[in-house]
A = this chain, B = another copy of it.
Amino acid sequence: MAEMEKKLADLKTRLTEIDDLNNANALLYWDQATYMPPGGAEARGRQSATLAKISQEKFIDPEIGKLLDDLRPYAESLPYDSDDASLIRVTRVDYERATKVSPEFVAEFNIHAAQSYQAWTEARPANDFRKVQPLLEKTLDLSRKMADFFPGYEHIADPLIDFADYGMKASSVRSLFAELRAELVPIVKAITAQPPAEDAFLHQHYPEAEQLKFAEEVVRQLGYDFNRGRIDKTHHPFMTKFSLGDVRITTRVKEDFLGETLFSNVHEAGHAMYEQGIDLALEGTPLATGTSAGVHESQSRTWENIVGRSLGFWEFFYPKLVDYFPEQLKGVSLEQFYRAVNKVERSLIRTDADEVTYNLHVMLRFDFELALLEGSLSIRDLPEAWHERFEKDFGLTPPDDRDGVLQDVHWYAGTIGGAFQGYTLGNILSAQFYTAALKAHPQIPAEMKQGQFGALHGWLKENLYKHGRKFNAPEVVERASGSPLTIQPYIQYLKEKYGALYTL
């Protein structure tokens, strides 16, 4: 076995070098989004492409394939859930995927995505879809080519969905979404037929410094570790990681709205706590990150919605919030505040949507991805199709493309296909994991009212976070919750929560 250990050490050395390159690249991006002066932009794009290229070259090195082949019997001799067996197994999946795509295609795609993203940053404020249309047509073409590196699919979107949410495909997402839609639409109808929650007091002047301070206090209390992280301001909030010891989040502030900074901080802290909770033994390997888009999103949504928009949470935090903003919140009761941060309404923007209508935004985008890839919808007709579908689903007409088809960055910086289903999978899974945690620790809601989140955080670390990518999404869902993916806990959660606020 000494020989196997040597090969394993060789594999780990190579993977850590690749991890170092990827983490340096993540820092290039973080800096660009936070502090970089305008003059740095041009070289930064090139630097990032160089690091990505070297990382890719090093990963698809046939020596890695050979090591993985040689190590296969060794991996199979170890327990399935051992770190080493998992490393060899998961790296093989990544390697097979990476070696199927030609390096020339990866380079072409990255260059196109950078151009396309740049054009989008100008087209969106200018409400000018035609400016990005040819780029988006090329994106669709490249997305199809990407899928075609993985022949044998049932639907052309399948490989793209599988990259983000391992184990899912168009047909399974479609039927899951149909099931969820049948439950959601009556709830949305029932709620929106009733008078909307009063939330004008959230739309007053809330000074930046106090908003940032309160949001920081909240995420610290939830369990985000500032010794291994920090918060900086950006245009679009995100979470990023440079090592398990350095997991950062970014935030933005709207001084005329209280909800933005707080809930986006809690959302990103949810992503970050997942990464901070990964077993340190996995550091420097491909296992040291979250396991899928959907499972990752489940954690941002758990902390943002199930915790951060719960009555118990606000029983603890609302008095503190009032201390920060005594004038603005004068005369606003806990109950009124709770209703306001859970206001349900049909609205234009996915990221601003409430828990109940949010998934309808995702389904619309998911269906368009399939139609575009199938060829039953053209990029040219997309803006019009968006308006029609939006009217049908939301009873609202977007006033322009800016808040329609130009709204989300995803298609302008990545593939068409696989980009959105993870958000709804995350919502579904958040309730499934939370329900399991609650079963193990019935005291969680009582603790929350005391500002204590240790039982929940501990369960999530033990059952989900610490594993990183050792288990794929279906495996970790089954292990942590005791059943495969199911919408029942989520529907039950929504019905209980909104049933107490509205007549359903």
Contacts and interface: CB of A to CB of B under 8 A. Distances in A.
Contacts of A46: 16, 20, 284
Contacts of A248: 37
A17 interface: yes
B232 A37 contact: no
Interface string A209-249: 00000000000000001111110100000000011111010
B23 A43 contact: yes
A43 B243 contact: yes
Contacts of A41: 245
B24 A24 contact: yes
Interface residues of A, number: 40
Contacts of A232: 35
Interface string A113-155: 0000000000000000000000000000000000000000000
A225 B21 contact: no
A40 B226 contact: no
Contact of A228 (B20, B39, B284): B39
A225 B25 contact: no
A375 interface: no
Contacts of A483: none
Contact of A24 (B28, B37, B228, B230): B28
State the number of copies, please: 2
Interface stretch (A47-55, A82-90, A170-178, A494-502): A47-55
Nearest to A53: B17
Interface string A230-272: 1010000000001111101000000000000000000000000
Nearest to A50: B20
A485 interface: no
B227 A38 contact: yes
A72 interface: no
Given A31-B27, A230-B35, A284 B21 contact: no
12 contacts: A17-B50, A17-B54, A21-B50, A21-B51, A23-B47, A24-B51, A27-B27, A31-B31, A40-B242, A40-B246, A42-B245, A43-B284
A283 interface: yes
A242 B23 contact: no
A215 to B, nearest CB: 17
A41 B242 CA distance: 10
Contacts of A38: 227-228
A36 interface: yes
Contacts of A36: 246
B284 A39 contact: no
A50 to B, nearest CB: 4
A142 B242 CA distance: 32
A39 B246 CA distance: 6
A252 B86 CA distance: 47
A44 interface: yes
A484 to B, nearest CB: 36
Given A20-B51, A31-B31, A46-B20, A39 B227 contact: yes
A276 to B, nearest CB: 9
B284 A40 contact: no
B283 A43 contact: yes
Interface string A281-323: 0011000000000000000000000000000000000000000
Contacts of A245: 37, 39-43
Interface in A1-42: 16-17, 20-21, 23-25, 27-28, 31, 35-42
A24 B23 contact: no
Interface in A363-420: none
Nearest to A18: B50
Given A41-B245, A46-B284, 12 more contacts: A16-B46, A16-B50, A17-B54, A24-B51, A31-B31, A38-B228, A39-B227, A39-B245, A42-B243, A43-B243, A43-B244, A47-B242
A41 to B, nearest CB: 7
A378 to B, nearest CB: 38
